[in-house]
Structures are given as C-alpha cells and as structure tokens.
Amino acid sequence: MRDRYDVIIVGGGMLGLATAYHLARRGVLTLVLGAGELGGGSSGACTGRAQVAEGHLDPLNLRLIREGLARLETLEEELGAAFEWRRIGFLALIDSQHLWDEWTARAAQLTAAGIPTEMLDQAGLRKVEPYLNADRFLGAAYALEGLLNPFRFCAAYAGAARRHGAQLRPRTPVTGMRLAGRRVIAVESGTERFEADQVAVMCGAWTAPVARMAGVELPIHHTHAEAFVTEPVALPLNNTVELASFYETIHGKERAVSVGFSRDAHGALVVTEAVTKTNEFHRRTSAWGLAGMAADLLRLYPALCGVRVVRGWAIPTPFSPDDEPLVGWAPGCDNLFVAAAFMETITAVPLMCDWMAGMILGEAPPADLTLFAPGRFAGNV
C-alpha cells in the first residue's frame, strides 16, 4: 500500500467507484477512500432506478440521460459483471390537473429529445396497472427507464477499477486534510496519511463536511430519507411507480411521506420514501416513516395486504439550491474536485464519471458544464 497517488477520491459509492474506474483505465494511480463499505452509503440505499423522465429538461441533462441510458445497456459487458440490469416501465401517477398539464408538456419535450414518454388516461393506467387503486388519479406519465441492483452495480465498477490498478479502501473515513496554501497536499484517516496531486470529493450528503476540511464551503444540503423492502411478492407489479406529486408533498414540510416502489430481481418491493427535514447526519429509521409508507402503499395497492416488510433503512440525501448537481473544481482551492447532488444519478454515472475522470486530469469536458459549476452560488451559500 503506497501513500502517494495521482488522484484520491473520497467517496466509495457509485460516483467515486465509476470515476476511479475511468481514471484507472487511463493508467492514473487512483485511491478510493470510503467511510463505510463500498456502495454502503447513498448508493446502496437507493432502489436502483436508472431514471429518465424526472430530471431537468435542459439540453445538457437530456444528453446525459440519453447517452447514459445507452451506455448502461452495454455496461455489464464492459465491466465484466452482472448487476441485474433491465429496462422497465415507469409511471408517474397524476392526481391533479396542473400536474397533468405539467407532465403533458414534459412528456412532449422528453419525447422530442429521444426519451419517449406518453400520457395515459385513467383507463390506460388501469390497463397497465390492474392492481392499482386508480380512482383518484387522472392518469399517469409513462416512460421506459432502467433498473439494476445498486450493490452489484457498485461491485461491478469496483471490480473493474481494481483490475485496472485502482486501490480501494473501504472503512477508511477521511478525518482531515492538510493544505499548503490553496492546495490539498494530503488526506488523513486517523493516523494514516495519503498524498495526491488531485483530490476528488464525491460522497453524497457528506460531500459538504468533507470539502469543509479543505476550507471549502459548498451549498449541499440534505434531507433524511427512509425506505423499506418487502419479502418477494407474487403480484405481477411490473412497473416502477412514483407519485407525480412527490415534490409538492415533500416541499416545505418538516416531514412527509410520498410513496413509490420498484420490484427487484427477486420479486421484492423496494419502497420509498419518508422524508424528514434535518441538519443531522444519521441513518435511523422511524416508526412513523415505516407506518406512513406502508399505509400509502396499501392505499395504492390493497392487494398487497399481508405482504411482509423485512427491513427498513435510511440515508441522508443531498440536494443543491437549484437541484442541479455540483460538478467541477471547488472554488477557493486549487486541486479539489467535487461531484454531488445529482438527481437521476444512476443514469448519469456512466457518462459523467467518464467525463469527470478527464476533467480531473485537466481536460475540458465534452460539453459545457457551467450549469453544474460548484461556484455558481457565489454570494448565495
């Protein structure tokens, strides 16, 4: 184990591991430091959705989704490991006229941009989801997105990164950084010290506190999100389902539940999301959250009565003030790269992490990423 690298990546989730893979492929001496297990943070806590229809509709984001999805189709082959990748229908259930209008416009834009999205009326919705209690919905938006096993997704990138020579250190939390002027010269974990030319911080909600160790303040906030998983379910629920009213429901509340789910490769339902406003970083689940998600799921799918919940979990979920990610060099530091607060992360990973590897090495990204510039909030942190 050496102590000097070209690049140190702080963050052992999908962003860090995929970026490490792309760096290592280019022969760059890369070290990944993860506080917990690889993929054990936000990456493992998600449902594994490769979302396509819910993000921002500017050309940059649309390109990331289109090309990311295309890359995902061949990624298992590229990385030499399976992660239960498949295409699956996505339904945004719509219960109000204004959301219907919004999604109709959105669907048109997505379709024009190469992400076919159609609007289903209530009858159409009932047809694709016969077990859904569709009474209160005007209909739904429907698109074909992706689904994978997030643990295996991370393991696939980790394995490939390792094979190309990257060093991966799970259970190695970063406790401090050493600076010389505006440069980070070392990253510390307890008594261990690692040196590198460039340091990249991409550790989800913890990106802000870690960047702070280098004197950099980033406007990355977080909410606390809970989820649970059931035993395998016989009911043929073959679409990923979310409520279009998610953001309205959550916004401004101390805590709220907006239910959604995907069915994993073993037939179990991974159910989200009970959200709580907090400044604390913790992973506790609550009786309120489990009960809230269960109640809402049963209202949508009464036939799920009797299905057992096997485990709940929770994770701080990062967001930025304008809901666009922060990607790029951190202001106030010469060699700290940051990447966090993505919305449709999994879909963006294959492309973004390839681009970010290049950026870390000093190359210009293939597209203008001003929209994601970490310093864009100058004066508004």
Partner 1 sequence: MPDVIANHLQVELAIVGAGPAGLAAAAEASDLGVPVTLIDLFPRPGGQYFKPTPAELDGESGAHLSPLLDRLSQADMRVISDTAVWGIFPEGEGYLLCLYGPVGTPRRLLARKVILAPGAHDRPVPFPGWTLPGVITAGAALTLVKHQRLLPGRRFLLSGTGPLQLVLARHLLDAGGEVAAVLDANPFPWRGWRHARAAWGQWERLGEGWAAWRSLRKADALLRWGHVVRRAEGEGQVEQAIIGPVDGGTDEAVAVDRIAVDTICLGHGLAPSVQLARQAGCEHRYDPDQRAYLPVRDESLQSTLPGLFVVGDGAGIGGKDVAQWEGRLAALAAAAQLTRSVAADRIAAVRRELARQRRFAAVLIDLFPASAHLGDLLTDDTVLCRCEEITVGEIRRVVAEGAETLNAVRMVTRAGMGRCQGRMCGGPVSELLARELGQPVEALGQVTPRPPVVPVPLEGLLEEEA
Partner 2 sequence: MTSSRLPRPAGSPTLTVSVDSEIAEAHPGETVATVLLALGRQTFRHTDHLHAPRGLFCGMGVCFDCLVTIDGQPNVRACMTPVHAGMTIETGGPSDA
- Please state whether beta strands 30-33 and 167-169 pair in parallel, antiparallel, or not at all (unpaired): parallel
CB of 306 to partner 2, least distance (A): 6
The Cβ of residue 256 has, within 10 Å, a number of other Cβ atoms equal to: 18
45 with 318: CB under 8 angstroms? no
Determine the 3-state secondary structure of 212 from DSSP. helix
Report the partner that residue 311 touches, choosing among partner 2, partner 1, none (CB closer than 5 to 8 A by kind): partner 1
Site residues for partner 1, 156-195, by CB under 8 A, read 158-159, 162, 168, 170-171
Cβ closest to partner 1, residue 54 vs residue 273: 273
219 with 275: CB under 8 angstroms? no
Burial of 1 per CB tally in 10 Å (0-12, 13-18, 19+): exposed
Site residues for partner 1, 67-96, by CB under 8 A, read none
CB of 170 to partner 2, least distance (A): 28
Residues near partner 2 (CB under 8 A) are 231-234, 266-267, 306, 308
Among 17, 18, 38, 91, binds partner 1 (CB under 8 A): 38
Q: Which residues pair with 262 in a beta bridge?
A: 270
Site residues for partner 1, 312-341, by CB under 8 A, read 312-313
Report the partner that residue 234 touches, choosing among partner 2, partner 1, none (CB closer than 5 to 8 A by kind): partner 2
Angle of helix 345-360 versus helix 14-25 axis, rounded to 10: 40
Report the partner that residue 158 touches, choosing among partner 1, partner 2, none (CB closer than 5 to 8 A by kind): partner 1
Terminal alpha carbon distance of the chain: 39
The Cβ of residue 104 has, within 10 Å, a number of other Cβ atoms equal to: 14
Among 295, 364, 378, 381, binds partner 1 (CB under 8 A): 295
Cβ closest to partner 2, residue 307 vs residue 369: 307
Burial of 205 per CB tally in 10 Å (0-12, 13-18, 19+): buried
d(CA 68, CA 76): 13
d(CA 141, CA 3): 51
CB of 235 to partner 2, least distance (A): 9
d(CA 16, CA 204): 10
Report the partner that residue 233 touches, choosing among partner 2, partner 1, none (CB closer than 5 to 8 A by kind): partner 2
Note whether 235 binds partner 1 by CB under 8 A: no
CB of 141 to partner 2, least distance (A): 28
Note whether 266 binds partner 1 by CB under 8 A: yes
* H helix or E strand, kind and range, residue 226: strand 221-232
CB of 129 to partner 2, least distance (A): 18
The Cβ of residue 328 has, within 10 Å, a number of other Cβ atoms equal to: 19
Report the partner that residue 72 touches, choosing among partner 2, partner 1, none (CB closer than 5 to 8 A by kind): none
Cβ closest to partner 2, residue 181 vs residue 306: 306
Among 96, 104, 122, 285, binds partner 1 (CB under 8 A): 285
Report the partner that residue 331 touches, choosing among partner 2, partner 1, none (CB closer than 5 to 8 A by kind): none
CB of 178 to partner 2, least distance (A): 50
Residue 9's alpha-carbon distances to 111, 189, 255, 344, in angstroms, are: 36, 13, 33, 21
Note whether 46 binds partner 1 by CB under 8 A: no
Note whether 297 binds partner 1 by CB under 8 A: yes
* H helix or E strand, kind and range, residue 260: strand 255-263
Residues that bind partner 1 (CB under 8 A): 36-40, 44, 151-152, 155, 158-159, 162, 168, 170-171, 229-231, 254-255, 266, 283, 285-288, 290-291, 294-295, 297-298, 304-313
